[in-house]
Amino acid sequence: MLTCLSLFLIVGLLFFAMACTGPAPEYQTEVTIKDIMDSVIDPNADYVWQSVSTTASSKGIVEKAPRTEDDWREVRRHTIALMEATNALQIPGRRVARPGEKSEDPRIEEPPEVIQTIIDSDRASWYKNAHGLYAAAALLLKATDAQNVDGLVDAGDKVDKACETCHLKYWYPNQTDLFKKVAPSGSVRKTP
C-alpha cells in the first residue's frame, strides 16, 4: 500500500511540476542571422557610431555629437535595438541565411553553409561572441544614459571590436592576416 501511495504521490508531483513550468517557448526563426545583421545590427550600430564625428573641410571643423534630450533618446533607442538583436542571434534553430543564398563577396566571405557549420560545431563560442556584443552595447547604454560623449566613443570602439572579432571567426576567417596588417591593434573602425 505504501509503495502504491508513493507512486501516486511521485506521479502527482511530476504532473504538478510540469503544469508549473508551462510549455517550452516556441521561437519563430524564419528571419535569418544575415537578416538580423542587415536589418537590425548594422543600421543601429551605424547610427550610434555616426552620432559622434569630427569633419574637417575648407569651411572649418564641424563637431557632431548628441546634445539635446531628443538626440540622446534617439541614440538610446538604437542602442537598445542593438542589444536586443544579440539575443535574437542566439535563438535555437536560427539559420545563417536562406537556402540557396550566396555570400555577397565569395572572395572574402565564407559561403553561408560553411558559416552555419562553424557556428553549429561550437555553439558555446557563438553565444560567447553574442554576449560580447551585448556587453559592449551595454557600455553604449551606460554612456548614453550618462550623456557622456567620450564614453559613447569608447564604447562604440568596443562594439566595433566585438563585431570584427565575430566576423573574423565566422564570416571571413581567411582574412585575419589582412586585418592584422590594416589594424595591428585588432580594432578596425567601421566607416560610413
Q: Is residue 36 part of a domain?
A: yes
Residue 106's pLDDT band (cuts 50, 70, 90): confident
- Residue 108 confidence (pLDDT): 87
Q: List, for residues 18-62, the tens digit of each pLDDT value.
A: 556 667 778 899 999 999 999 999 999 999 999 999 999 888 999
Q: Is residue 75 part of a domain?
A: yes
Share of the chain above pLDDT 70, in %: 79
Taking the CA atoms of residue 95, residue 96, residue 101 and residue 102 in that order, the dihedral angle to the nearest 10 degrees is: -160
Q: Is residue 7 part of a domain?
A: no
Count of domains forming the chain? 1
Question: For position 167, which CATH number holds?
Answer: 1.20.120.10
> By residue range, what is the domain housing residue 124?
27-182
| Residue 1 or 190, more confident | 1
Q: Is residue 112 part of a domain?
A: yes
- State yes or no: pLDDT of 129 exceeds 80: yes
- Residue 13 confidence (pLDDT): 60
The separation between the first and the last C-alpha atoms of the chain, rounded to the nearest angstrom, is: 76
Q: Is residue 177 part of a domain?
A: yes
Q: Is residue 34 part of a domain?
A: yes
- Residue 74 confidence (pLDDT): 98
Q: List, for residues 71-80, the tens digit of each pLDDT value.
A: 999 999 999 9
Mean pLDDT of the chain: 86
